[in-house]
Structure 1
């Protein structure tokens, strides 16, 4: 199957409509019928503003979070439309991919 691999990048404490952005994205994907999403918690990084984000015990400064999804073209369009309609501002990457299962079982 042809589609897209899309990754959203945010921080643990950022919220949208009263919930963490990563959770909002996962719920929005579920609502449009996406088959799955994976949430990754990062150890450290820095954002477009140059601020350092970490989960280090001595530097609990809003660790980075990623939401990754393999989507059909229609699912990708629907999810990005939902984000735009909700005025969600979050950085993402999108790459064309081939995806599927290794067997029917």
Structure 2
């Protein structure tokens, strides 16, 4: 389990929902890799509109249904764990954007009820 002393990093991976690693959606593979590597946690967000390097608009609007909506995977962990994880997934991200920024971790708790 990751232990924080407030200083952490936020990894954001911007990809399309149709990006794959083998036969699996890339975002699923990334989350599985994060779990197997013992990362603190991962969350996937599906966007309703966006564009990337190719400037094509991807949207959920009814008249223009897109099958490649934007997806963002966010992971917060220590600097060392984030850097190691980026090295693990680098080869799988053939298009997209990866950013890292400082994160001030105020709480990281698992299970139990408040006050336990």
Give the counterpart of 2:25 among 7, 11, 20. Answer: 20
Secondary structure, in 3 states, of the residue corresponding to 2:35?
helix
Matched residues, number = 104
- Equivalent-residue separation in structure 2 for 1:102 and 1:67 (angstroms): 18
Which structure would you say has the larger Rg? 2
State the 4+ residue runs in structure 1 displaced beyond 3 angstroms.
102-105
Secondary structure, in 3 states, of the residue corresponding to 1:39?
strand
TM-score by length of 2: 0.79
Gaps in structure 1 of 5+ consecutive residues: none
TM-score by length of 1: 0.87
Gaps in structure 2 of 5+ consecutive residues: 1-5
- Equivalent-residue separation in structure 2 for 1:47 and 1:14 (angstroms): 13
Question: Cα RMSD between the aligned structures?
Answer: 1.9
